[in-house]
Structure 1
Amino acid sequence: MPFAPKAVADATPAQAQDSTSRVRVLVINVLISNRQDARLRQLVQATHPDVVLALEPDAWWAWALRPLHAAYPYRLELPSADAYGLILYSRLPLLNPHTQDLEQPGVPSVITGMRLADGRTFTFFGIHPTPPIPDNYPDGVGLRNVVLQKVARLLRQTPGPVLVAGDFNDVSWSKTTHQLVAEGPVQDVSRGRGLYPTFDARIPLMRWPLDHFFVSPQFRVVSLTRPPDVGSDHFALLAELALAKE
């Protein structure tokens, strides 16, 4: 919704300059059949994210991204051959990282605390619900609703700041994502900043914003960008956020 008021406020100049309270997060659905790994590594090296959430990685992708390990000492890797694997790389310390099948077995989400350089913490949720198309999961629409309902419930139960990121397989103006905003204490980072169509990267005239960042009120936005494509059917989405000080 590019002409709506900004749902998440911009960072002040002081907040934007305070590197100890900022986090830069890159979300990318790599496309399990994509083998242009060098392009993704180059993107990571060029944009210097603190956190990388890669969705759809198989064992080949886990191997191909190993050169990034030196820069990301905190990792959670769960590759899968069924397009619902995930890899989380972080420069920030991870606190109790774990996965949870919010939808059904084999479709995990990642939940972890993260500690900023200034010592404050927030909770990160990385999600990838099944798409609303009758392929491997013919009841995908209902399952996706269940995932976001469960995420909203977990958000309400989670103290402190929260950040939700991932490939939602849904647009930001849909009923299901509105439900997440209504039931969880989060707002869409892109709202009021323009459209960020991330899928399908291969079809210029048919693209939809399926990848998102939702944050709790403690966060401010330094920047939100859509980097160049890396050979996937999704563009990456890159957000730099500042955690406001009370």
Structure 2
Amino acid sequence: MLATILLSLFWGIVAIIAVVSVLPFSKIPHGAIRGMAFPREQLFILTALLAVVALFWLAPEPRNYALATLAIIGAIHTGYIVKFTPLWPRQSVDATPEQAADARNRVTILASNVKQSNRQYHRLVDLIHKEDPDIATALEVDPDWVDALYDGLHDRYPHWIKVAKDNSYGVVLMSKMALSETQVRDLLVDDVPSIRTKVAMPSGRIWRLYIVHPEPPVPNHDTKGRDGEIALVGIEASKDDVPAIVTGDLNDVAWSTTTRRFQRLSGLLDPRVGRGFYNTFHAGIPVMRWPLDHLFHDAEFRLIRMSRLPNIGSDHFPILFSLALTDNAEANSIPEKSDAEERAEVREMADEEREKDRKAIGTDWEK
């Protein structure tokens, strides 16, 4: 009797993993589907464990069926996550020692999602003092967070863009480098702001910075707001007349349909490819972590350093990127090119989302 129950449980788990593994292929823009693409690392490990169980526990005939099924599932997840391991060629080019040493054309960016209800302000302030980035960004900042950051860091950063909000979508940008042509925009959904600004290096060279924090995927809502905002920023970045960097909590993993489309639309490089996952969420649950906080950059930038930083009391780890701006574009590999049909689909999705009259997802989660 117990053996029958365990066998049913085994095949039930295999069936669930198979469904969760395959459904994201549908590209249905709904949180219940898109969220299934997040735990591919965890599903790969669980698939491997089930294969070991099948190998030593099942009878020969069902064992063959189980191993074949699990091999297919494992191959699906491997195809996505292997690109974010050292087994895959790096996409971003490493800076040379000379490029890394050129302080006039180098920028270090610290990106963090503070979690609005987190009140350990000093932990982020102390971390920024320690790392001393040229630019620091913080998401989910309310007025108290902005005040605390300004009190602790105003003497270090002369240039500020403050967008304090009580709905978990506040954003603040602190910069040692001069900013110009700054725009704070709700691209698709009211009260979900993003920042677009030009940044001047000490050398005088100019580049564009985008800071984004679209809505998260939730099981009871579509993801068109998130997907559309990420895609629109990608289209804008592709048209920039200066090198671009896009950073922020995209509420999406590096291997998803939405993020891969963003790379096709923008042409920007992901420094994680060939280097590692650098999982930033969830900081408090080690077995359930995935890469949600990102930076994508133009091929004129070279990577000097990328580091996940210590916990600041949030559900996200901060992440730091150091880049050198060069005179020529170079990449070890480049994203696939987008086509006119894909861009038209994005604009149609964005138009549809703008017509909706609704509140942003998750505005009351931190209250």
More helix by share: 2
Instruction: Write the deviation string for residues 15-71 of structure 1: whole angstroms up to 9, x where unpaired.
Output: 011111100000000000000111101100000010011000001101111220111
Q: Which residue number in structure 2 is paired with residue 163 of structure 1?
A: 245
The CA distance in 1 between the partners of 2:129 and 2:101, in whole Å, is 21
| Paired AA for residue 323 in structure 2 | L
Structure 2 residues without counterparts, runs of 5 or longer: 1-83, 329-367
The CA distance in 1 between the partners of 2:180 and 2:224, in whole Å, is 31
The CA distance in 1 between the partners of 2:283 and 2:175, in whole Å, is 26
The CA distance in 2 between the partners of 1:121 and 1:185, in whole Å, is 19
Q: Secondary structure at the match of 2:154?
A: helix
Runs of 4+ in 1 over 3 A off after TM superposition: none
The CA distance in 2 between the partners of 1:203 and 1:225, in whole Å, is 19
The CA distance in 2 between the partners of 1:185 and 1:27, in whole Å, is 21
Alignment of 1:4-153 (within 5 A): 4-66=88-150, 67-134=152-219, 138-139=221-222, 141-153=223-235
Offset of residue 155 of structure 1: 1.0
Contact 2:247 2:294 in 1 (8 A): yes
Instruction: Write the deviation string for residues 116-145 of structure 1: whole angstroms up to 9, x where unpaired.
Output: 01110100000001000147xx33x11111
Q: TM-score, structure 1 length as denominator?
A: 0.96
Structure 1 residues without counterparts, runs of 5 or longer: none
Q: Which residue number in structure 2 is paired with residue 185 of structure 1?
A: 267
The CA distance in 2 between the partners of 1:153 and 1:206, in whole Å, is 32
Q: Which residue number in structure 1 is paired with residue 280 of structure 2?
A: 198
More strand by share: 1
The CA distance in 2 between the partners of 1:95 and 1:6, in whole Å, is 32
Contact 1:103 1:129 in 2 (8 A): no
Offset of residue 224 of structure 1: 0.1
Give the RMSD, CA atoms, in angstroms. 1.0
The CA distance in 2 between the partners of 1:17 and 1:190, in whole Å, is 22
Instruction: Write the deviation string for residues 63-94 of structure 1: whole angstroms up to 9, x where unpaired.
Output: 11122011110000001000001000000000
How many matched pairs?
243
Q: Which moved more, 1:142-151 or 1:39-48?
A: 142-151
The CA distance in 1 between the partners of 2:232 and 2:167, in whole Å, is 22
Which one has more relative contact order, counting CA pairs under 8 Å at least 6 apart? Answer: 1
Q: Secondary structure at the match of 1:65?
A: helix
| Rg larger for | 2
Instruction: Indicate the percent of aligned positions where both proteins have the same amino acid.
Output: 40
